[in-house]
Structure 1
């Protein structure tokens, strides 16, 4: 029996079991790093060992038990990514309760819907702002009894409550995390075996987490993930070699998203260090401080990094820009050639002339790129959306290996991932050990394995639409599997459209090509369903287009004026023509419009995981879309 098979067949009942085993095995090893503000406004990174983490987790778990939380009762978490999120989640699991993940960016109305649908009894909130959002809808949440604040209000209003750390909000008992931990310590003093007993009582099929799909249309659906889903993720990640005990992982992804949540399981299994800071504007500054060996990310981050590198090179102009363009081509050629030879010969080799060019480019360009990622990165897992192959080849050639994977909320995150020793750009890798993948007759990807959800919460009909009686899950994605078992995603089934001429178009393919070619691009939405031809709505990255504008006669003008100017239209048109050169006639973009602002979560155009809500965008900009088809003839 292989070690991977042994791990899978002997996985613990829950991550709570795994956590206690981890603490016992390596109590003094560093578990988490996190930033803390100093009095002078600067920051320092502090650490928790596994033993210190366990003391806090057990106090939180016992505090929840003291509040009366029982098996599988839901406790919500509404916070950005920070170490307290992880402590709270582990505490909920060790109490035998179940966590309801809520994006902190979710508006009050939808937050109330999630809390009511999940029947959450308590909620961890990051700050007074998140608490106010819940309090405003308290009338619709009779089952919600407690709120636990990570960050107490530094200047609270006078409150007659005799406990200075406890307050009330319209029948909602509010206490700080510190107070919950103190109550937990007191509870453990009277019931020292309470948490260990709760963990021993956890069954693999017991509900562990409800994660609500952000969805691109309609109300979110609560995905029921049991303890065995996360336990499977933990051992499967280790079995792939994706994480190693000596790794330092930088975690900034939203923990309310299944991708971020799954990383916690893998880290507990491996025992490596996790540096936690979810502030997006601190990613670049944190990398040289943390010096991660692994990092999980979304494709948008790599796109922005690439665009930023290209923009700086362009701004320097002259020989430096020419060197960058040459080095970028060499990186792609080197990575693509090495991959092709690996597939055909089993060895990742390149011709001598290309190897020499790559060595020169490495000294001139690639070393600086690796340094920007901290200088120690051995791999970065990428998921939630497709990465444009040209960008993947660029980073691979520069020595920053982006290992694309594939998964959904319904699969407890990853179900396929690229192996570090034989990753293939343009694919999402091979199935995790224990997961099965097959392609239906219509091209839809079907999955089966321990990580699959046990259904949508309170929605048996919706569950029956995607879960077959024999355990296969319909993903809604179109793809293929090559002879070596690598999976390739070609599009979302619902996003494929047919032109009025009867030709099928996969919009994500065109969108990916455009993003790879146009360093100014932020988002693009290809349109053409039942239309004579394809068009596109395009948004531009403000941090990249504004420096270009400053040196091209548009200095001093606001972003909205810049992106809708004739000069920028001509700039973008050049990239559209280049994309069209490699497309079939019916795929080409005949017209496009540059939007006056970028798409965002606040306007409902992006999900919290930054997927484009196509119907919302098309409705919002219906006039622009209609104008691109006025007087249209068959093209």
Structure 2
């Protein structure tokens, strides 16, 4: 296995050298469909030929709208084989957002794969060549299956040069409209090669792909990394089968966002209450058996790397998992730096930090504490936005991350907030909400949290309840939240102390536009809806208010 010059070259290597190895495992209606490297290569070549038959200009942009599935991977390979640039779109976006991205990205064709409700999205896909996968009950445009039956595979494949555009990733941004981040072939292969060196996972390792492939972390850390090492990919069939699909796969690497770790904990504690679990873990023989069983049930028995990213994870939760034998490593990266930034590693993990910078990364803090990054895979810019591109780079070529952080004496980085998330109360003092939110989120009755305070004397906490919180008696819930606020306030300066907790009626989710597809809270959208109510809530007598 040589050093590959592109993700496509990596795939072609495994197709030639391990043709009969299983590459993709796709559950459909409870049955497992598998594709070897040779089979996936054959289907991808036929789709590439069909794309070329549209007679599009060279390096045309091809959109990809699908949940994670075998066909997402084959579509991505087909786009590379045909010599085009991929535009992945989040499968949860509504028709307006899809139309906006298709138009802004100048996409000339789209591949439509596995979706929950394409009927509601279809009107956003207009006047464009379409290829649609029939296996997932969609039928709009040319059918993938018909192409496979009637088209000859593409024979001549030209490998791209490293400076060619590989993909445009539209950020799920917590603020404003999505921006198209341009990454070259070289950026992607360098980033994946660094992952391979850092993690050292062998050829044929099992990967479980479920976080949106339209997001850089899954696309780089799982998909492209997997292409480079010749991994075997499995996918969940549905939300209902997710737990059993993950348990069946037992992947060697598992990447999750904080909400998923909270959900896993809830499921464990539903079956085994906290006190009982804590007691059983004190009994030596039972301790080993319980840890084994929990890791098996969660699908993490074989995992060498268990990573949390995209948003901060509560320290308490990391320690709780450590007690049951699961070591979660927090990392830090962005779409713009191709996620090559900072990582904790299995023998070098400092809980509460996002780890040390990788060896290929240069980093410094600005006068305001903003983290500045330089590596060998920074984006070439935002598509059609030269002014915004210029504004996020320093004169010396460092990327301004927008995150505020600090390093300790050993070089571990802690993220302390976002430059744009800071707000002033009417006392005129700045508050960074992130550390306060993280501290308050130790209370497992809380699902999501957003600390706000513009135009009122003290900050207030807007929260949604977890399943545990919803099941709790009202008086006990108020008691628990009040105790948490008291504890958190004892560590804060006077102007930072939380005055009220407001329990939201409405969930915050992707559908109502209050979280990103990676489940980060969209502060601006939440503020827009609720800011007119801050003053009246603040004047109420109760400390915990039900909206």
TM-score by length of 1: 0.79
- Tell me which residue corresponds to 2:31: 44
In the alignment, which of 408, 412, 420 is matched to residue 482 of structure 1?
408
In the alignment, which of 7, 11, 15 is matched to residue 15 of structure 1?
7
> 1:247-396, aligned counterparts within 5 Å?
247-262=205-220, 263-277=222-236, 279-314=238-273, 321-325=274-278, 359=284, 362-363=287-288, 365-374=290-299, 375-396=301-322
8 Å Cα contact 1:34/1:275 also seen in 2: yes
- Tell me which residue corresponds to 2:448: 523
Note if 1:205 corresponds to 2:131.
Answer: no
In the alignment, which of 68, 84, 89 is matched to residue 97 of structure 1?
84
In the alignment, which of 159, 177, 180 is matched to residue 147 of structure 2?
180
Note if 1:545 corresponds to 2:469.
Answer: yes
Give the distance between the partners of 1:254 and 1:472, measured in 2 at CA.
28
> 1:100-115, aligned counterparts within 5 Å?
100-115=87-102
Q: How many residues align?
A: 539
8 Å Cα contact 2:63/2:89 also seen in 1: yes
Give the distance between the partners of 1:283 and 1:129, measured in 2 at CA.
15
TM-score by length of 2: 0.91
> 1:556-571, aligned counterparts within 5 Å?
565=474, 568-571=477-480
8 Å Cα contact 2:237/2:245 also seen in 1: no
Deviation string for 1:116-151 (max 9, x for gaps)?
11110100112698665565246xx55x2x111113
- Tell me which residue corresponds to 2:17: 25
1:405 Cα offset (Å): 1.2
Give the distance between the partners of 2:286 and 2:429, measured in 1 at CA.
43
8 Å Cα contact 1:477/1:491 also seen in 2: yes
- Tell me which residue corresponds to 1:609: 518
1:431 Cα offset (Å): 2.8
Describe the SS at the equivalent of 2:262.
Answer: helix
Which structure is larger by alpha-carbon Rg, 1 or 2? Answer: 1
Describe the SS at the equivalent of 2:539.
Answer: coil
How large is the RMSD of aligned CA atoms in angstroms?
Answer: 2.7
User: Structure 1 pair 183/408, CA: closer, same or farther in 2 (3 Å)?
Assistant: farther
Deviation string for 1:173-192 (max 9, x for gaps)?
x101122334542x64xxx3
Describe the SS at the equivalent of 1:230.
Answer: helix
Note if 1:136 corresponds to 2:123.
Answer: yes
8 Å Cα contact 1:259/1:414 also seen in 2: no
Give the distance between the partners of 2:208 and 2:85, measured in 1 at CA.
26
Which segments of 5 or more consecutive residues in structure 2 lack a partner in the other structure? 542-547
8 Å Cα contact 2:28/2:237 also seen in 1: no
1:155 Cα offset (Å): 9.6
Describe the SS at the equivalent of 2:462.
Answer: strand
Give the distance between the partners of 1:530 and 1:369, measured in 2 at CA.
47
Deviation string for 1:359-383 (max 9, x for gaps)?
4672475334322222323321211
Describe the SS at the equivalent of 1:593.
Answer: strand
Give the distance between the partners of 2:357 and 2:521, measured in 1 at CA.
26
Give the distance between the partners of 1:513 and 1:368, measured in 2 at CA.
30
8 Å Cα contact 2:452/2:459 also seen in 1: yes
More helix per residue: 1 or 2?
1
User: Structure 1 pair 585/267, CA: closer, same or farther in 2 (3 Å)?
Assistant: same
Give the distance between the partners of 2:321 and 2:200, measured in 1 at CA.
18
User: Structure 1 pair 418/69, CA: closer, same or farther in 2 (3 Å)?
Assistant: farther
8 Å Cα contact 1:405/1:428 also seen in 2: yes
